[in-house]
Amino acid sequence: MAGEYEQDAVPIGAIRLEAATRSFNVQVDSGRTLKELLLRREHRGGPEAVPALRGVDLTIDPGETVAIVGRNGAGKSSTLRVLAGIVPLDSGRVRIGGQVAALLDLAAGFSRDFSGRENILMGGALYGLTRRQVEERLEDMIAFSELGEFVDLPLKAYSSGMLVRLAFAIVAFLDADVLLIDEVLAVGDGAFQRKCEERIAAQVASGSTLVLVSHDLALIERTCARTVLLDSGRVAADGPTAQVLSEYRHLLSGEAAPVRGTNHPAEVAAAAAAAGGGAEPPSDHEEPA
Ligand X SMILES: Nc1ncnc2c1ncn2[C@@H]1O[C@H](COP(=O)(O)OP(=O)(O)OP(=O)(O)O)[C@@H](O)[C@H]1O
CB of 186 to ligand X, least distance (A): 11
Count residues contacting ligand X (CB under 6 A)?
13
Full strand arrangement of the beta sheet holding 15-27: 4-7, 91-96, 15-27, 47-60
- Verify binding: residue 77, ligand X, rule CB under 6 A: yes
Of 28, 37, 49, 50, which one interacts with ligand X (CB under 6 A)? 50
Stretch that binds ligand X, among 2-10, 73-81, 137-145, 198-206 (CB under 6 A): 73-81
Radius of gyration, alpha carbons of the chain:
20
Of 14, 76, 106, 127, which one interacts with ligand X (CB under 6 A)? 76
CB of 150 to ligand X, least distance (A): 28
In the window 2-41, what residues touch ligand X (CB under 6 A)? 24, 26
- Verify binding: residue 241, ligand X, rule CB under 6 A: no
283 vs 161: CA distance, rounded Å? 23
What sign results for the dihedral spanned by CA atoms 249, 214, 203, 127? negative
93 vs 208: CA distance, rounded Å? 22
Task: Return the number of the residue (253 or 262) whose C-beta is nearest ligand X.
Answer: 262
CB of 285 to ligand X, least distance (A): 11
Q: Are 79 and 212 in contact (CB under 8 A)?
A: no
- Verify binding: residue 157, ligand X, rule CB under 6 A: no
Task: Return the number of the residue (26 or 28) whose C-beta is nearest ligand X.
Answer: 26
Task: Return the number of the residue (174 or 180) whose C-beta is nearest ligand X.
Answer: 180
280-289 long-range contacts, CB within 8 A, separation 24+: 286/261, 286/262, 287/72, 287/261, 288/72, 288/73, 288/260, 288/261
Of 60, 67, 74, 121, which one interacts with ligand X (CB under 6 A)? 74
- Verify binding: residue 97, ligand X, rule CB under 6 A: no
Q: How far lies 139's CA from each of 37, 89, 166, in Å?
A: 58, 38, 12
Give phi and psi for 128, each to the nearest 5.
Answer: 90, 5
Of 5, 21, 43, 72, which one interacts with ligand X (CB under 6 A)? 72
What sign results for the dihedral spanned by CA atoms 239, 243, 247, 248? positive
CB of 124 to ligand X, least distance (A): 27
DSSP 230-254: EETTEEEEEEEHHHHHHHHHHHHHH
Task: Return the number of the residue (75 or 97) whose C-beta is nearest ligand X.
Answer: 75
Question: Contact residues for ligand X (CB under 6 A)?
Answer: 24, 26, 50, 52, 70, 72-78, 288
